[in-house]
Amino acid sequence: MNLLLLEEKDFIGLDRVVVSGRRFMHLKKVIRAEPGTALTCGKLNGKMGTGRVTAMDKEQARLEVVLDQDPPTPLPLTLVLALPRPKMLKRILQAVSSLGVKQIFLINSWRVEKSFWSTDLLAADPINRHLKLGLEQARDTLLPAVYLKRYFTAFVKEELPGISKGKPCFLAHPKTHRACPVAENRDAVLVIGPEGGFIDLEVDTLKGSGAIPVHIGPRILRVETAVSVLISRLFS
């Protein structure tokens, strides 16, 4: 935890907060905070700044905070990702949140197992829990938005063209001769398929909606690795 992420419910005054639960245990056992300890803090979807522990007991910590700094600039990227298996999804949500991605679409694909869509992880609270862990890691406060799209064709044909209007839409696809651009550093959409990739029909449908197939070399990477590699390649 590189940032103590605060929520509206934590505030007991304009500049005073009470922290309990997981965050309190981290302060106590990992940071070994005590009265007088200074911390980097931020309010969810708000400002960042500093906090000073004023009191601690067995269950909670009280802090005085000064939040007067803007969070990091969001990455100008929309991520469209075929829904991965739940364990991998947890790691991906944390990773892309820490990298500054603020808009994520989880879509269906022929190779996405139907059972993945019934996981409890897709409820709002579990998704936000992992996104917040990414924010804490990266010292950010702006929570990404996650959208669930179970109908591949409808999403690609009806929604993707609007999402990618006026910006490049890159499709990670190993069976192409075009290399992924480096340091694109502008608004873009990145589409990544499931383990095994999109089937040919899905690739054609994506291309028909303006997606540009690109590769990152001859190696086939796990989805969670490919996400970070592609993002770091597109944005320097």
Q: Fold match between 4-69 and 75-234? A: no
pLDDT one-digit tens code per residue, 94-124: 999 999 999 999 999 999 999 999 999 999 9
Mean residue pLDDT across the chain: 96
pLDDT at position 140 is 98
How many Cβ atoms sit within 10 Å of the Cβ of residue 226?
Answer: 18
Rounded CA separation 32/156 (Å): 49
pLDDT at position 83 is 97
Kindly list the domain boundaries of the chain, sorted by start residue: 4-69, 75-234
pLDDT at position 15 is 95
pLDDT at position 222 is 92
pLDDT at position 236 is 82
What is the topology classification, in CATH, of domain 75-234? Alpha/beta knot (3.40.1280)
Confidence of residue 58 (pLDDT cuts 50, 70, 90): very high
pLDDT one-digit tens code per residue, 17-54: 999 999 999 999 999 999 999 999 999 999 999 999 99
Give the start-end residues of each E strand in 4-100: 4-6, 16-20, 38-43, 48-56, 60-69, 75-82
Residues whose CB is less than 8 angstroms from the CB of residue 225 and which lie 6 or more positions away in sequence, other chains included: none
Rounded CA separation 88/82 (Å): 12
* pLDDT mean over 221-229: 94
Domain 4-69 maps to which CATH number in 2.40.240.20, 3.50.50.60, 2.10.109.10, 1.10.20.10?
Answer: 2.40.240.20
Structure tokens at 214: 């690109």
Structure tokens at 38: 């200074």
How many Cβ atoms sit within 10 Å of the Cβ of residue 59?
Answer: 11
Question: Which of these, 112, 206, 116, lies nearest to 159 by C-alpha position?
Answer: 206
pLDDT one-digit tens code per residue, 146-205: 999 999 999 999 999 999 999 999 999 988 999 999 999 999 999 999 999 999 999 999
